Chain A
Amino acid sequence: MEPTSAAEIAARLEETGYLSDEGLATVTFLALRMQRPLLLEGEPGTGKTALAEAIAAGLGLPLVRLQCYEGIDATQALYDWDFPRQILHLRALEAAGGTNDVTEAEKSLYDERFLLARPVLAALQQAPAVLLVDEVDRADDEFEAFLLEVLSTYQVTIPELGTVRASTPPVVVLTSNRTRELHDALKRRCLYHWIDHPAPAREMAIVRSRAPEISAALTEQVVAVTQGLRAEGGLQKPPGVAETLDWARALHHLGTTELDLATASATLGALVKYREDGERVRQALDRMLRP
């Protein structure tokens, strides 16, 4: 079950349709063996989140996802009490003639059945599991400090119930879009990897493995265009692999087997998401597709 080499990891990931390169496979292998969280940075759409999903699928582990946002706090990440149900329970106790013993009543309130496990606690309870902490750079520094605590001990203390410790530390994958620099203390805890846009051959392989129904000629053309757009620069949001796939699928749905200017312009919405970018891509396509 436990992978013994980076090559084996790469093979496992490939079975789920995720094509990794050597660096990524090695760092994933190290993260698993050293039981350290893996911090992934890189351009949007290069497969940071998808890696966590692939690891979970490849190792046959449940995936628990924590989406970070500005203002997220420990109760949204760890656990919360189901207050409405607790109040109902209290009323029920009373209606049943109930107990007048406060400690007894309180004890029955903070029972595990009223505990709402949020992602981090869920990952610890379900261990072994894969915990994906997505877009950690969106959360505030306070939340980062809290994560640090959980990631260094893999345990959580609930005052009313006691300490929950993971029997096996979960595989933790953190992704960041670099909207702000993460704290050194958190980075030190993690293994770091920067995911780049893939080389043409790898991107072609990715499209083939994710969308095998698309013709080889179309795949080649689509990849050539997106690679060209990235190299050319000047776009507000250069297409990621996710956009390449979207576009290829869109073209396929229209029955296209060979790229032409008309269908390409009609489906640009799958590739670029800004009006200004649309203009630029149309001009670039004009150049690329006109022999």
Chain B
Amino acid sequence: MSLNVEHQSVRTLPSEKPIRLLDNAGHAVHGAAAGGFELPELDTLLELYRRMVIARRFDVQVTALTRQGRLATYPSAYGQEACEIGAISAIEARDWFFPTYRDSIALLTRGIEPGDILQSFRGDWHNGYDQHAHRTASQATPLATQALHAVGLAHAARLRQDPIVTMTYLGDGATSEGDAHEAFNFAAVWQTPTVFLVQNNQFAISVPLSRQTRAATLADKAVGYGMPGYHVDGNDVAAVYAVTRAAVERARAGGGPTLIEGLTYRIEAHTNSDDPTRYRLARDVEHWKRRDPIERLEKYLVSEGALSESMRAEITDAAESVAAHTRDLMTVEAEIDPLELFDHVYARPRAALLEQRARLEAELADAAIHAAQPGAAQPAGAAR
């Protein structure tokens, strides 16, 4: 079988008004505005609600821990829960996910332990979870680079005839990077089963979307590559889920990649070291807070009689226990082994690294001796 298939190029422009299945008041949307998509079943929406509530509680907790100095940094996704949770919920355990630094709550939904997610932000090691076990790549920091990995892995899976899909998230700023272009193009040319979710939270650190692109929507970019593009209300988890789910199903059936833009807003700072008052108005933040993705779904579920008080209490409890667990993990000092620095650079041992490891080991032993002698406190580096 050759994968080198002829395919139809896609020329349909995404809608300028974002696709929406629930409006801001929590009412179901029908007709053209829904873009031909159906509101998911109540059970699905309830599960999405639960995941979003837990995700937000986690995010708020980690932000607080970061302010207390427990983590070196944390990029919050507060306000972006519909994108983060809606899309990741559309793929399966066998599929692969390629996240960025911003997407910790998607990892939580993927079943990764809080301590493992936060290991890199705490500063213990660059990545804390087993990528193979969770079929989830390391959170990428260099922008848009991970999108190419998602395409490559998807292509390898196709060569092996494994029916898996890869999903990757990018920010609006990241779409300006060359690697985003290369990833979209490779995916379209190779027709890989890849779903690109652009979370347009309207800022790349301080730079607004208007300084990033002249395209009417980021989803428009899909057309130039010959793949379908969708412009979606990124604060409507029902819409994000329905559109990504359709893209995942098409990809799995051999229909190639899809580019989805979720229009959302980052409520928190870029990271804890950012000062957003320098580049955006409190008024705008308030405006977007009133379009909260969790409240919107909650209104709908309550109006449908699908969310009882006892369910709400149970979900709150679950969220609190994730937060408490996270607090407990982050208040314990991590055990680190400096000698491990040398252990994972190459598969094949290197003489020069073994020498350097021995040197550090001797320094540490010296430092331990000095520490044991009262009044002889010396920094490790000075011990000769």
A binds B: no
Q: Which residues of A contact B (CB under 8 A)?
A: none
Q: Which residues of B contact A (CB under 8 A)?
A: none
